[in-house]
Chains A and B, each alone.
Chain A
Amino acid sequence: ETGVTQSPTHLIKTRGQQVTLRCSSQSGHNTVSWYQQALGQGPQFIFQYYREEENGRGNFPPRFSGLQFPNYSSELNVNALELDDSALYLCASSLGTRAYEQYFGPGTRLTVT
């Protein structure tokens, strides 16, 4: 059984650019949630995907968007990057939207300069 994987590990972008982060869910998990963790803060919920549809969204602007694919993997896209988007982006997978346990990947560290 493979765990949650994320790519890339680190990324440096310039303000105004666009970025795509990727997540492969744990084997058998059909729900993916994305979180943003700014330095020194707890993770903040961005959105959740279930069966390729967005299933709830946190307080993030529309320039944060996502996709989920038939194999349950997911992408997080951020357009028009701002300096405050610099953070660790965490992906978590679970079995169903009402599962209590979410399994986290190692994260992608995004730096916006």
Chain B
Amino acid sequence: AQSVTQLGSHVSVSEGALVLLRCNYSSSVPPYLFWYVQYPNQGLQLLLKYTSAATLVKGINGFEAEFKKSETSFHLTKPSAHMSDAAEYFCAVIRRDPGGGNKLTFGTGTQLKVEL
């Protein structure tokens, strides 16, 4: 079964510092991986996705993620944190049921705090 594990439920960085949010996946087949962001009292917004093309994926708001098969990882990074990046971030993998459609399986989330 395909699943993702997010390491660290809370991450705190200083404004301007590197953001690194960790995600490891478990999949018996090449996975399709996603990062979503959720601001307080809002739905989920897609940051970026990996669908077996380039291993380094660039997303919105300056975020990027690198797919590393050898490490089964898909960590999210941003070179310089901004106060507006404070939110909850979810890693997700597509699960395709036989005869069915695509369903997202999410990690438990990482709350990012950005401090002055």
Q: How many A-B pairs fall under 8 Å by CB? A: 71
From A45, A92, A103, contact of B105 by CB (8 A): A45
- Tell me the bound Cα distance from A100 to B31 in angstroms: 11
Q: How many residues of A contact B (CB 8 A)?
A: 32
Would you call B100 and A43 a contact (CB within 8 A)? no
Would you call A90 and B44 a contact (CB within 8 A)? yes
Would you call A99 and B102 a contact (CB within 8 A)? yes
Would you call A48 and B44 a contact (CB within 8 A)? no
Contacts of B44 in A (CB 8 A): 43, 90, 92, 104
A41 on interface, CB distance cutoff 8 Å: yes
Q: Interface digits, B95-116 against A, CB 8 Å rule (1 contact, 0 not)?
A: 0110011111111110000000
With A42-B106, A42-B109, A92-B44 already in contact, 7 other A-B pairs whose C-beta atoms are closer than 8 Å: A31-B101, A42-B90, A43-B44, A48-B103, A96-B101, A98-B101, A100-B94
